[in-house]
Structure 1
Amino acid sequence: MARPKHTTFDKKKIVAENRRARFDYHIEDTYEAGIALTGTEVKSLRSGEGSIAESYAEIRGGEAFLVNANVPEFSHGNRFNHEPKRPRKLLLHAREVEKLLGAVERKGMTLVPLSVYFNSRGRAKVELALAKGKQTHDKRATIKERDWKRDKARLMRDKG
């Protein structure tokens, strides 16, 4: 019998976060994926550098790749330093890749990275979301709801 999956992932050190993704997309499901990195990329991420703001994931040839994620060159790297925006392979089980590919092809969903972090064992991981894009009116509703929650908290604090 398979072990049950954790609902939340064990994040020890968050390196990069895509906060805009939760505003632009309806998040359906999240997955944790490892990243195939070179030595200087790991060192650069450990120093807290990196960005996934404009990145996305795609599936090519039965493998998942993180595209357009920026991991700047390591400051003390030599001629073997890495390329900052190269596509990085995501380490997922074959069954997960097939499930993601089916959702992307059939339902028109997108694979969006939510965060890059190091887990408790020191491994670099990506929190990957299967998401559907929001329309403009959905975004306005989200803003309206967020503002109301803020005003409600302010009123409760002042009155109570």
Structure 2
Amino acid sequence: MFKSVLLICFFILVLNEASVPKTVQVFIGDSVVLPCHSPRQLTLFTAYWRYEDSKNVYDIQDGIGLTKEQDPVYKSRTESFPAEYSKGNFSLKLRKLQNIDAGSFCCFLPEFNSLQICTVLQVKEKPRGIQEKPGSHRGVESKAERIVSLLNPLFAGTILLWLCEW
């Protein structure tokens, strides 16, 4: 019984984290890595990236990145990480950001009943005087998002400790 309760709590935390869209502020011309991680190890390496639930951004089927049916606006601007698929990482890099990229990008994982992991991009003009630093093309999280992402593991650990004592 105890292990069942523990397992249910764990999955609620994992699914809650995966289903809440994150908002990322990025600058025109920069690149961003859109995160997509499965909650557990996969047997099939398949994920579908969509913009606003309509435009095909990128498909990964059976461990192969496909751009055949990709919307033309994303041609030559996407990159995935095939060496990471076996770890459940289907993150996507989007380069040369434009105003039209503002909106919701979702990764659908069919092996998890089409679990979707979404990131909302806010694309802004780069303020004058900002110098680019190598490796700084990942977007900027808000302070609140950083705090929440740090508190989630603490919250999960507290619940697990409480359940263990119970």
Q: Provide the TM-score with structure 2 as the length reference.
A: 0.34
Q: Provide the TM-score with structure 1 as the length reference.
A: 0.35
